[in-house]
């Protein structure tokens, strides 16, 4: 089944760039930097995490690897190649603009570096960028992220994300930036109900009418009803949820409710570097856990095309690629 899941054309819509660096890419970047920063050579990514709180501090290490533009280009290019090798044909990466005065990297030059890698010519994968706003940011910084998204729109920025430490910050404080992004026509995807404690702001998050939701693990019956009524696609990251211990088993994962309800979902990786899981692995897990046939996996993958932040022409092109693959393989 895994080989089939690698071959299956797939869409990836929830992948944080700095969480997606493979061990090989991390090694390449450590090599580049270990002379100036010897402590990097000792870092080990943990196999498992006690709780989701242990996840976010990992980025203090990873961010030292991508703290200048050439490293950002290598990181982004390698992440794209990893997804391409895994059969991803359309990819929306997301990242939080970051600066580093020590190397002269600004948020603008960071995004320019990411986009230069995204816009390298490739035959079998289309890549776009979502600009992430961290929950811990000030409104001013969030507005700056929207400015940058507008600045780089013609180079492949297609949407705005709310992400970051699930127990910190608040959407309410940042809402004016998201309202402005929406006024400019950017679709929004919001991390939603990743932990129980996030439920307090769920109504506020839905009131902005997001185009997609990340995770949506914890839902009250009312919120579930809102999401179904709005037909809002959910980005599902099973291994991420298991390793962050927000879901206890694959069998109990909330994707099961979406399968039963036939509600749109997109199987995604979240942070494939930190969680050691390719997108094909996530499809394989879904197939094994819920007994999905090859045809059902194909259908699930085909339906994700409707959730991308791109126009009808690109959607139709992708649907053609999927249909041709179906004729040859199923």
Catalytic residues: 194
Q: Which two tokens stand for residue 50?
A: 């006690």
Asked if 86 and 279 touch (Cβ cutoff 8 Å), the reply is yes
Q: Does 16 bind ligand 6MZ (CB under 6 A)?
A: yes
- Site for ligand 6MZ contains 76 (CB under 6 A): no
Return the beta strands (E) in the chain as ranges.
10-16, 88-95, 126-134, 157-163, 188-192, 212-215, 234-236, 265-267
In this structure, what DSSP letter does residue 270 have? B
In angstroms, give the least distance from the CB of 191 to ligand 6MZ.
5
Burial degree of 228 (CB within 10 A; 0-12, 13-18, 19+)? middle
Burial of 317 (0-12, 13-18, 19+ CB in 10 A): middle
Q: Is residue 301 a contact residue for ligand 6MZ (CB under 6 A)?
A: no
Q: Does 95 bind ligand 6MZ (CB under 6 A)?
A: yes
**How many CA atoms lie less than 13 Å away from 296 in the CB half-sphere?**
13
Minimal distance, residue 201 CB to ligand 6MZ, in Å = 14
Among 132, 189, 198, 202, interactor with ligand 6MZ by CB under 6 A: 132
Q: Is 69 in the site for ligand 6MZ (CB under 6 A)?
A: no
Nearest residue to 270 (alpha-carbon basis) of 194, 211, 201: 194
Minimum distance from residue 294 beta carbon to ligand 6MZ (Å): 29
CB-CB contact of 131 with 160 (8 Å): yes
- Our finding on whether 223 is near ligand 6MZ (CB under 6 A) is no
Any residues with CB less than 8 A from the CB of 64 and at least 6 apart, and which?
A: 33, 37, 40
**What length is written for the chain?**
330
Q: Are strands 157-163 and 265-267 parallel, antiparallel or unpaired?
A: unpaired
Out of 127, 163, 213, 286, point to the residue binding ligand 6MZ (CB under 6 A): 163
Does 194 participate in binding ligand 6MZ (rule CB under 6 A)?
Answer: yes
Among 5, 8, 11, 17, binds ligand 6MZ (CB under 6 A): 17
Closer residue to ligand 6MZ, CB minimum distance, 145 or 292: 145
Answer for which of 8, 21, 55, 76 binds ligand 6MZ (CB under 6 A) is 55
The closest alpha carbon to 324, from 143, 126, 124, belongs to 124
Provide, rounded to whole angstroms, the least separation between the CB of residue 52 and ligand 6MZ: 7
Give, as one character, the DSSP assignment of residue 243.
H
Whose Cβ is closer to ligand 6MZ: residue 43's or residue 326's? 43
**Nearest approach, Cβ of 25 to ligand 6MZ (angstroms)?**
13
Site for ligand 6MZ contains 75 (CB under 6 A): no
Longest distance between any two alpha carbons in the chain, whole Å: 55
Near ligand 6MZ by CB under 6 A: residue from 25, 71, 78, 96: 96
Residue 272 makes contact with ligand 6MZ by CB under 6 A: no
| Binding region for ligand 6MZ (CB under 6 A) out of 14-22, 35-43, 201-209, 287-295 | 14-22
The footprint of ligand 6MZ (CB under 6 A) covers 16-19, 55, 59, 95-96, 132, 134, 163-164, 166, 191, 194, 240, 244, 270-271
């Amino acid at each position: 089944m895994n080989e089939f899941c690698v071959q299956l054309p797939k869409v990836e819509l929830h992948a944080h760039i700095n969480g997606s660096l493979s061990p090989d890419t991390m090694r390449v970047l450590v090599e580049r930097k270990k002379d100036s920063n010897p402590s990097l050579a000792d870092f080990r990514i943990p196999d498992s995490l006690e709780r989701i709180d242990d996840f976010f501090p990992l980025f203090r290490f990873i961010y030292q690897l991508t703290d200048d533009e050439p490293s950002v280009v290598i990181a982004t290019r390698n992440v794209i190649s990893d997804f391409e090798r895994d059969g991803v044909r359309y990819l929306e990466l997301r990242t939080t603009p970051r600066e580093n005065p020590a190397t002269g990297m600004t948020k603008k030059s960071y995004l320019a570096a990411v986009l230069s890698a995204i816009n390298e010519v490739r035959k079998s994968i289309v890549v776009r960028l979502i600009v992430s706003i961290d929950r811990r940011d000030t409104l001013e910084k969030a507005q700056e992220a929207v400015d940058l998204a507008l600045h780089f729109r013609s180079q492949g920025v297609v949407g705005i994300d709310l992400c970051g430490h699930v127990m910190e910050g608040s959407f309410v404080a940042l809402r004016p930036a998201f309202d402005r992004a929406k006024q400019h026509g950017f679709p929004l995807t919001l991390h939603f109900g990743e932990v129980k404690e996030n439920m307090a702001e769920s109504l506020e998050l839905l009131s902005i009418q997001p185009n997609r939701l990340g995770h949506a693990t914890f839902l009250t019956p009312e919120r579930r009803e809102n999401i179904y009524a709005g037909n809002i696609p959910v980005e599902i990251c099973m291994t991420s949820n298991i390793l962050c211990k927000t879901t206890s088993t694959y069998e109990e994962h909330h994707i099961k409710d979406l399968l039963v309800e036939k509600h749109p979902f997109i199987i995604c990786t979240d942070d494939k570097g930190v969680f050691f899981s390719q997108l094909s692995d996530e499809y394989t897990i879904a197939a094994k856990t819920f007994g999905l046939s090859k045809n059902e996996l194909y259908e699930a993958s085909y339906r994700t095309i409707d959730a991308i932040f791109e126009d009808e022409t690109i959607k139709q092109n992708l649907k053609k690629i999927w249909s041709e693959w179906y004729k040859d393989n199923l």
